[in-house]
């Protein structure tokens, strides 16, 4: 069974097969974790993203990692929080699930996720953490032996504490 772990830190430094980017539908860069990943990966990442024709909310696309320690970047788009009655939970779950589907297809065994949608997209952190953990556990149950480690990389203390409690 894949190990689910949590650390407080910077996703661009993670030595894993793939890191996940919380992107927007253009895939052409932005602020937050997206900006940090593009900065660390270098301009090759933006060139590669230009060829992907964007990405719908809840879907995922993959590129190489360029200057990052990770071999791949999986770009996914979480939902913008509009109060919770617009299928935000389903879209967030899809973003995690579809990232993992792509990871397995590319023989990724270790993967790091940021806390998708919990920055400028405004998804409540407690709800998002529950959905993230439940979705990864469901995927693992459905795909036994495919993943070794799924690491949640939290940038802020509040997210770290939420994941730490859920994974205990
Ligand atoms: N490593 C790990 N986590 C980080 C890092 C980092 N280096 N930097 C920020 N975070 P956000 P969203 C955390 O806003 O809410 C972009 O402009 C941050 O603290 O990056 O999905 C895209 O282009 C927060 O917990 O992503 C989109 O337009 C989490 O990453 C939009 O933001 C996600 O915050 C996506 O919004």
Q: What is the CATH number of the domain that holds 53?
A: 3.40.220.10
The yes-or-no answer on residue 47 being catalytic is no
Q: Which two tokens stand for residue 148?
A: 């070794």
Distances (CA, A) of 122 to 29, 59, 79, 111, 126: 18, 19, 9, 24, 12
User: Which DSSP string corresponds to 99-168?
Assistant: HHHHHHHTT--EEEE--TTSSTT---HHHHHHHHHHHHHHHHHHSTTS-SEEEEEESSHHHHHHHHHHH-
**Span from the CA of 119 to the centroid of ligand 1 (angstroms):** 5
Q: Which two tokens stand for residue 76?
A: 């996914």
Tally of domains in the chain: 1
Residue nearest to atom 12 of ligand 1 (CA): 117
- Looking at 24-106, which runs of residues are DSSP E strands? 60-64, 72-77
pTM assigned to the model: 0.98
**Span from the CA of 118 to the centroid of ligand 1 (angstroms):** 7
Bridge partners (DSSP) listed for residue 110: 149
Return the closest-CA partner of residue 28 out of 46, 4, 8. 46
User: Which pLDDT tens digits describe the chain residue by residue (168 residues)?
Assistant: 799 999 999 999 999 999 999 999 999 999 999 999 999 999 999 999 999 999 999 999 999 999 999 999 999 999 999 999 999 999 999 999 999 999 999 999 999 999 999 999 999 999 999 999 999 999 999 999 999 999 999 999 999 999 999 999
- How confident is the model at residue 1, as a pLDDT? 76
Please report the atom of ligand 1 found closest to the CA of residue 123. 15
Q: For residue 74, give its domain range.
A: 3-167
- How confident is the model at residue 168, as a pLDDT? 93
């Amino acid at each position: 069974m894949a190990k689910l772990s949590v650390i407080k830190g910077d996703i661009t430094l993670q030595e894993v097969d793939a890191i996940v980017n919380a992107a927007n539908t253009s895939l052409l860069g932005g602020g937050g974790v997206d900006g940090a990943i593009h900065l660390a990966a270098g301009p090759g990442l933006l060139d590669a993203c230009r060829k992907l024709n964007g990405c719908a909310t809840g879907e995922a696309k993959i590129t190489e990692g360029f200057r990052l320690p990770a071999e791949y970047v999986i770009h996914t788009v979480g939902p913008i929080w509009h109060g919770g009655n617009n299928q935000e939970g389903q879209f967030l779950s899809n973003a995690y699930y579809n990232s993992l589907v792509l990871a397995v297809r590319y023989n990724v065994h270790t993967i790091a996720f940021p806390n998708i949608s919990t920055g400028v997209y405004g998804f409540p952190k407690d709800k998002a953490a529950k959905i993230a953990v439940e979705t990864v556990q469901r995927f693992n149950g459905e795909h036994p032996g495919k993943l070794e480690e799924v690491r949640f990389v939290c940038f802020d203390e509040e997210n770290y504490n939420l994941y730490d409690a859920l994974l205990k």
